[in-house]
């Protein structure tokens, strides 16, 4: 059906500055009086395990305070008082009496040690730990983490960490020149912590298994409940809200909760990806989710470059002149160049990837595309959620 474009719904102007000039982008949006009925995004089949988690089955954060020794003069300085106090306390526990004021800590660094305690952890399991400097140490390269207890949110010790550090970067300096790659004050100890207390969950005590959707969606929760009920040929699952689905363990007749969870997680459901556009203004990254559609849109994109050049001219007095002096005179020239306007027209129901391809064809940069998408959303022409990170 033919429609006539009458009134521009909004005009947004954006200017990006640079040392030599700027780029002007004008986005003109023309909206239809009524939207045509667009087809829904095509659903795809996914496993329940890919879009849900089990309520109560999760990792637990651990944290501890310790020291790293064996550094090559890159540790904390004397101004970091808690490092000297910690080292003095450690030496005292070893039977050596010292005072913090006499301690030299160039080869020692105070650190926080963090780890994630997996679900169903048992005593004796190994977990990785991350070691981060909290003083003014320059590098943790070559260091060894001394025995550090790791505590949970309840204050109880769940693991103990110790071992040599591995770093993902390095730093070197000589003669006033320095080179650094990545962070040198954060390292890891692979399998450096040993679990000392069980944190396993007794699944046999579950009377109801709650499936938690990773992303809230009323349709998805209803589809999950319907798929489970169809698999067990009875009403055992109920969608509580957009994120939670409860399943009765006794109603399923499963021999164990573990068997029930395994069976449910391998069921397939129809999943409708959300229409969402995520923008990162700092890097110009654009990520499209689902079938994102646009309303009728007309985009004008032009380039305006302002170039300022300075030429230095040396002015000298005549030969054998007793008066006058040599002077350097700057000569400035300003030039303005305006390129042809690029134009893109998209019909109703066009996809965002088509828009981006068209913008790239007329020379728009990634940051230009970010600004244009924001302008389209502000004018009501983007049929999706827009998130800026």
pLDDT digits (tens, 9 = 90+) for 133-171: 999 898 999 899 999 999 999 999 999 999 999 987 666
DSSP string, 347-378: -TTEEHHHHHHHHHHTT--HHHHHHHHHHHHH
pLDDT digits (tens, 9 = 90+) for 174-213: 555 666 666 789 999 999 999 999 888 888 888 999 999 9
Residue 185 φ/ψ region, left for φ over 0, alpha for ψ in the -120 to 50 degree band, beta for the rest: alpha
Average pLDDT over residues 119-138: 93
Residue with tokens 């650190």: 111
Q: Whole-angstrom distance between the N-terminal and C-terminal Cα of the chain?
A: 39
pLDDT confidence of 339, banded at 50, 70, 90? Answer: low
To the question of domain 47-57+202-271 being in CATH 3.30.1360, the answer is yes
Average pLDDT of 204-229?
Answer: 92
What pLDDT sits at residue 381?
A: 76
CB 95 within 8 A of CB 234: no
pLDDT tens for each residue of 277-304: 888 877 778 787 767 777 776 666 555 4
DSSP-derived pairing of the beta strands 342-346 and 186-195: unpaired
Cα gap 106→72, rounded to integer Å: 8
CB 378 within 8 A of CB 371: no
Domain ranges of the chain: 8-41+276-388, 47-57+202-271, 60-195
pLDDT computed for residue 385 by the predictor: 83
d(CA 119, CA 261): 15
Looking at residue 204, what is its pLDDT?
A: 85
For 22, 109, 113, 154, the CA distances from 149, given in Å and listed in that order, are: 56, 17, 9, 14
pLDDT of 299:
65
């Amino acid at each position: 059906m033919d429609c006539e474009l009458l009134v521009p719904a909004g005009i947004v102007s954006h200017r990006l500055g640079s040392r030599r000039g700027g780029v002007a982008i004008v986005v003109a949006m023309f909206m239809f009086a009524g939207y045509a009925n667009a087809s829904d995004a095509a659903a795809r089949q996914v496993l329940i395990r890919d879009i849900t988690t089990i309520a109560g089955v999760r990792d637990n954060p651990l944290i501890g305070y310790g020291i790293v020794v064996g550094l090559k003069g890159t540790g904390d300085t004397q101004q970091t008082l808690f490092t000297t106090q910690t080292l003095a306390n450690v030496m005292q526990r070893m039977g050596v009496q010292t005072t913090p004021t006499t301690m030299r800590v160039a080869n020692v660094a105070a650190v926080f040690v963090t780890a994630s305690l997996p679900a169903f952890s048992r005593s004796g399991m190994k977990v990785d730990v991350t070691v981060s400097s909290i003083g003014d140490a320059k590098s943790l390269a070559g260091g060894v983490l001394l025995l550090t207890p790791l505590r949970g949110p309840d204050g109880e010790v769940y693991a103990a960490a110790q071992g040599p550090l591995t770093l993902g970067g390095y730093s070197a300096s000589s003669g006033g020149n320095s080179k650094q790659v990545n962070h040198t004050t954060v390292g890891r100890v692979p399998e450096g912590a040993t679990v000392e207390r069980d944190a396993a969950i007794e699944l046999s005590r579950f009377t109801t298994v709650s499936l938690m959707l990773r992303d809230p969606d009323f349709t998805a929760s209803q589809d999950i409940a319907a798929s489970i009920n169809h698999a067990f040929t009875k009403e055992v699952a109920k969608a509580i809200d957009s994120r939670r689905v409860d399943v009765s363990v006794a109603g399923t007749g499963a021999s164990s909760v573990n068997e029930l969870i395994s069976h449910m997680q391998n069921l397939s459901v129809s999943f409708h990806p959300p229409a969402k556009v995520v923008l990162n203004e700092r890097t110009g990254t654009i990520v499209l989710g689902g079938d994102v559609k646009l309303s009728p849109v007309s985009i004008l994109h032009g380039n305006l470059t302002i170039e300022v050049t300075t030429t230095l001219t040396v002015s000298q007095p005549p030969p054998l002149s007793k008066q006058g002096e040599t002077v350097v005179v700057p000569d400035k020239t300003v030039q303005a160049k305006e390129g042809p306007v690029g134009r893109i027209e998209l019909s109703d129901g066009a996809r965002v990837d088509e828009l981006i391809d068209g913008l790239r064809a007329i020379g728009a940069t990634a940051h230009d595309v970010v600004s244009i998408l924001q302008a389209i959303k502000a004018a009501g022409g983007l049929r999706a959620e827009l998130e800026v990170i």
